[in-house]
A = this chain, B = another copy of it.
Amino acid sequence: MPLPRAVVLLSGGLDSATTLAIARAEGFETHAISFRYGQRHAVELEFALRVARALGAARHVIAEIDLRVFGGSALTADLAVPKHARAEEIGGGIPVTYVPARNTIFLSFALAFAETTGANDIYIGVNALDYSGYPDCRPEYLEAFERMAKLATRAGVEGPGVSLHAPLLRMGKAEIIRRGLELGVDFSLTRSCYDPTLDGASCGHCDSCLLRRRGFAQAGIPDPIPYAPR
């Protein structure tokens, strides 16, 4: 019998790589989707391709969307990405790196992909502990998205509709890293940086780098990727 299919949002970062490995371990044929959305860290897409291949995704599509038409985020516009010395310095509130409605747009595309590919399951690697202040990483948001998604498509008219899985939701970064290693994720293929150098090194001091580095430190495992000297 063929495996059931799941769509997995894949950014090239360590969270989504671990999520892809979890979807596979939970018995799904995985169909990965990544986005070219005008992000300044588009190098992550090359890593997404390598991660999808390494983890045996049956298919990997890259959807082109242009969020720059709206402006409004340091990840897509010409605002400076904030830098800190340590993860503990990351401030409260919603950071300027928040991209308006990004997860909603990404999940909407995942829903379209799920519908056309016959998948009833969507995996997303958000987590609520290290979520860095984004409103669209909260559990109540994900529940509301799933409820909407069940009403949005054919699958929800003719059957139970799609289910949304966020297996990392309540995991800390160190726990995610350990779980990924158990499942065979090669973290040297992942990148998390919001502001990499031209030769692909991670900056080491944006929120995303700081959370990653603290996670590896807490897990007692060396981070295998290159960081730019400060």
Contacts and interface: CB of A to CB of B under 8 A. Distances in A.
A89 to B, nearest CB: 22
Contacts of A154: 94, 98, 100, 135
Q: Among A105, A117, A140, which residue has the most Cβ atoms of chain B within 10 A?
A: A105
A71 B150 CA distance: 20
Given A100-B115, A152-B101, A157-B135, A63 B69 contact: yes
Interface stretch (A50-58, A106-114, A171-179, A214-222): A106-114
A23 interface: no
A79 interface: no
Contacts of A69: 61-64
Contacts of A156: 135
Given A108-B101, A112-B70, A135 B153 contact: yes
Contacts of A71: 116
Number of copies: 2
B151 A148 contact: no
Interface string A131-155: 0000110101100110111111110
Contacts of A61: 69-70
Q: Specify the main secondary structure of chain A where it touches its partner.
A: helix
Contacts of A138: 151
A65 interface: yes
Interface of A: 61-67, 69-72, 94, 98-105, 107-109, 111-113, 115-117, 135-136, 138, 140-141, 144-145, 147-154, 156-157
Given A100-B154, A135-B151, 7 more contacts: A65-B65, A70-B112, A100-B111, A101-B115, A104-B108, A105-B105, A141-B151
